[in-house]
Amino acid sequence: MTTSLNRRFLLAQRPVGPATRDTFSYEEKPLGEPGPGQILVENHYLSLDPAMRGWMNEGKSYIAPVGLGEVMRALGVGKVLASQHPDYAVGDFVNGALGVQDYFLGEPKGFYKVDPLRAPLPLYLSALGMTGMTAYFALLDVGAPKAGETVVISGAAGAVGSVAGQIARIKGCRVVGIAGGAEKCRFLTEELGFDAAIDYKQGDLAAALKRECPKGIDVYFDNVGGDILDAVLTRLNFKARVVICGAISQYNNEESVKGPANYLALLVNRARMEGFVVMDHAAHFADAAREMGGWLADGRLKSKEHIVEGLEHFPETLNKLFTGENFGKLILKVR
Ligand SMILES: NC(=O)c1ccc[n+]([C@@H]2O[C@H](COP(=O)([O-])OP(=O)(O)OC[C@H]3O[C@@H](n4cnc5c(N)ncnc54)[C@H](OP(=O)(O)O)[C@@H]3O)[C@@H](O)[C@H]2O)c1
């Protein structure tokens, strides 16, 4: 049993615009012991996700908001130090909602075990974790791409987008990524095998989409929303599928969310737009992880992680997602 203090970030106020250091309060608390049904976990890596910004807001969503004064929710992987739960033993590694803190103490609701001998721990937060599951199910179940179709992905150099694009390539599609900056675009075409990449920061996205998608767009995997969604809608094909995976351009908005002005493209093309939440597919994660593991092993799928060390850097590190400073799956290394 450890005698360490537990450093933790609590949600102190609901932010308007981007979260700042003042959004959180920081405290150090002595560790307790697990009660019946509980486990104590030392957190190793925490997943930083755009969704965390949404969890800070009040109101109805697909999951309850983090309460004021509660530890900020975060998924992570860590090692069981003590257990009073029949399914978990000391030394097991687990994946679950560990929170932005050094140690998790509580009931392991929704937790599952991971094997650090089969894959490095950060991979269980990227391609083999929620990120990979999101890319897999949002693309294959909602986007349903067929070989030869054109798939466009926004946020393409990010955690979800980069995996989704590679899966679309595996399925034989023409894949066009939209990302910010020349370095990210080069990474998509030269390292991940995307057919083309568009730097949306260079302007005239409509012309670039016309150039790179000469046969129109059959599947649009949207991670960003806003103006990029609007531009893509104008190039949709008959019976196209638009996957609403996320809308990061809107999460820090101080005004209301900007909806798509060009939505009548759905009517004209008998196309559809469908929202996606990864947890709906939890029953099939193990099968997907097995298939993704095979692709990682045979080199058809590459996973890029961006690891920042130090729990104390949590607030600034989270914001890298919104400035585009992250390059790959953003992970906070706790120990
Ligand atoms: N529905 C679900 O179940 C589910 C699950 C997981 C994630 N998601 C969603 O998937 C999306 C990607 O998440 P992720 O974890 O993979 O993050 P990520 O793509 O690794 O990081 C976010 C990226 O978004 C881009 N970005 C930020 N602000 C932008 C803006 N205003 N306009 C255009 N691009 C912007 C930046 O890339 P650039 O440098 O290219 O701008 C940044 O690197 C998010 O929308 C997230 O909410 C949904």
Q: How confident is the model over 71-82, as pLDDT tens digits?
A: 999 999 999 999
CA distances for 231 relative to 73, 144, 154, 217, 330, angstroms: 34, 21, 11, 11, 27
At residue 4 the predicted structure's pLDDT band, cuts being 50, 70 and 90, is: confident
Q: Is-contact 241 219, C-beta < 8 A? A: yes
Q: Is-contact 301 292, C-beta < 8 A? A: yes
Q: How confident is the model over 213-266, as pLDDT tens digits?
A: 999 999 999 999 999 999 999 999 999 999 999 999 999 999 889 999 999 999
Distance, in Å, from the CA atom of 178 to the CA atom of 133, rounded to the nearest integer, reads 21
Distance, in Å, from the CA atom of 219 to the CA atom of 229, rounded to the nearest integer, reads 12
Distance, in Å, from the CA atom of 138 to the CA atom of 244, rounded to the nearest integer, reads 8
Instruction: Determine the atom of ligand 1 nearest the C-alpha atom of 201.
Output: 41
Q: How far is the CA of 318 from the centre of ligand 1 (A)?
A: 12
Distance, in Å, from the CA atom of 10 to the CA atom of 69, rounded to the nearest integer, reads 5
Question: Which residue's CA is minimally distant from atom 43 of ligand 1?
Answer: 324
* Residue whose entry in the numeric block shows the structure tokens 């560990």: 98
Q: Which residues line ligand 1 (CB under 6 A)?
A: 49-51, 131, 134, 155, 157-161, 179-181, 184, 223-224, 245-249, 276-278, 321-322, 324, 326, 330
Q: Is the pLDDT of residue 274 over 80?
A: yes
Q: How far is the CA of 80 from the centre of ligand 1 (A)?
A: 31
Q: How confident is the model over 142-181, as pLDDT tens digits?
A: 999 999 999 999 999 999 999 999 999 999 999 999 999 9
Q: Is the pLDDT of residue 1 over 90?
A: no
Q: How confident is the model over 31-64, as pLDDT tens digits?
A: 999 999 999 999 999 999 999 999 999 988 999 9
Q: How far is the CA of 179 from the centre of ligand 1 (A)?
A: 10
Instruction: Determine the atom of ligand 1 nearest the C-alpha atom of 51.
Output: 47
pLDDT score for 133: 98
pLDDT score for 89: 98
Q: Name residue 108's amino acid.
A: P
Please compute the mean of the pLDDT values over residues 193-205 and round it to a whole number: 97
pLDDT score for 282: 95
Lowest pLDDT segment from 3-12, 175-184, 208-217:
3-12
Tokens of 292: 């993704």
Q: Is-contact 170 195, C-beta < 8 A? A: no
Q: Name residue 24's amino acid.
A: F
Please compute the mean of the pLDDT values over residues 133-150 and round it to a whole number: 98
Please compute the mean of the pLDDT values over residues 121-128 and round it to a whole number: 98
Question: Which residue's CA is minimally distant from atom 30 of ligand 1?
Answer: 249
Instruction: Determine the atom of ligand 1 nearest the C-alpha atom of 48.
Output: 15
Instruction: Determine the atom of ligand 1 nearest the C-alpha atom of 325.
Output: 43
Q: Is the pLDDT of residue 209 over 60?
A: yes
The percentage of the chain sitting over the pLDDT mark of 90, rounded to a whole number, equals 97
Q: How far is the CA of 161 from the centre of ligand 1 (A)?
A: 8
Q: How far is the CA of 224 from the centre of ligand 1 (A)?
A: 6
The percentage of the chain sitting over the pLDDT mark of 70, rounded to a whole number, equals 99
Q: How far is the CA of 119 from the centre of ligand 1 (A)?
A: 24
At residue 3 the predicted structure's pLDDT band, cuts being 50, 70 and 90, is: low
Q: How confident is the model over 99-116, as pLDDT tens digits?
A: 999 999 999 999 999 999
Q: How far is the CA of 29 from the centre of ligand 1 (A)?
A: 33
* Average pLDDT value for the chain: 97
Q: Is the pLDDT of residue 2 over 60?
A: no
pLDDT score for 71: 98
Q: How far is the CA of 48 from the centre of ligand 1 (A)?
A: 11
Distance, C-alpha 65 to centroid of its chain = 17
Task: Please choose from 224, 229, 250, 254 the residue to mutate so as to test ligand 1's pocket, defined by most ligand atoms within 8 A of CB.
Answer: 224
Task: Please choose from 248, 305, 308, 332 the residue to mutate so as to test ligand 1's pocket, defined by most ligand atoms within 8 A of CB.
Answer: 248
